[in-house]
Amino acid sequence: MLRNPWFLFSMSIFLFLGSCVYMITNTVGRLASSDVASVSEDSILYIDLEGVIVDGAEILEDLRTYAKEDKIKGVLVRINSPGGVVGPSQEIYSELLRIREDLKKPVVVSANALMASGGYYVASAADKIFVNPGTLMGSIGVIMEFANLSDLYSWAKIQRYALTTGAYKSTGTDTRAMREDEKQLLQTLINEVQEQFKAAVVKGRKLHQDQVDAIADGRILTGEMGVKLGLADSLGTETDAIHQLEDLTGLKDAKLFKPRQAQQEFMSWIGKGKSLFPGSQMSESVNAILPLALFGKPLYLMPQYIK
């Protein structure tokens, strides 16, 4: 039961400040990485896909800037992600596929603890996927979540209004329960997005449609299960993935080119990917912003990450 009459006001301030933090860290991060590093020797481009995929802009920038360089002979993508927003996941997938098909450079994925949903969507564009036996992977599916806060608004004596231009313009609003026709509309939408996911896996992994259909129900698999089902190629570590790229490119003792290493160190200080104030209440508040921002979007994301 809610006892604090200032709850809604506090939540509004909380969301506003969280949004400010998110925008500032993204802006500072991009400014910190504005200088283009040079590739001085034959190397493997190292891309680190960590956490929830929200916009993918930095990864896409690195791929488009460096993959075309003559001294970049291949791409290693290290994935530790539960997935994320549909569009950015598809963009990264398409860019990796372009590197393989147009630039004729090999792409190899190494999965860490988690390579699920949108994270797996991205991985399926690679020539080879290496996973640990206990890597959690798969979760081929789509989710959208909404909140009906009408009882909360009534309790707080808040009346909200919306003027719309059509019957479906306010679909997903938190001021009322969703109508059955609205549910059907959104179900049709996410079914279509699911078909796009399955088509990407069929193409990237060269599997039959019925093989993908049989496991495209959102289930989580271990890395060992994924290899048996053809969703990954081999059990192995990042070192094994590097050796695979050495074989594919002809490089010996391949050097890894990490274009955002300096930025990652800087951003870890101000909080991107890590807590702003480790162990503090403020840290928990900032970390809670992301799931709220994902409400009402079709997501390639494990449901545990929408809280």
Catalytic positions, written as ranges: 117, 169
The residue among 166, 198, 195, 171 whose CA lies nearest residue 184 is: 171
The token pair at 24 is 């500032």
Q: Which residue matches tokens 């002979």?
A: 73
Q: 168: which residues sit within 8 A by CB, 6+ positions away?
A: 182, 185
**Cα–Cα separations (whole angstroms), residue 109 to 35, 93, 225:** 26, 12, 17
- CB-neighbour burial class of residue 9 (10 A; exposed 0-12, middle 13-18, buried 19+): exposed
The token pair at 69 is 């360089």
Helix (H, G, I), strand (E, B) or coil at 9: helix
Decide: 165 and 151 in contact? Cβ < 8 Å.
Answer: no
**Residue type for position 302:** M
Any alpha helices (H) in the chain, and if so which ranges? 7-32, 57-66, 86-101, 118-123, 150-155, 180-205, 209-213, 223-228, 238-249, 261-270, 281-287, 289-293
Question: What values do phi and psi take at 218, rounded to 5?
Answer: 90, 0
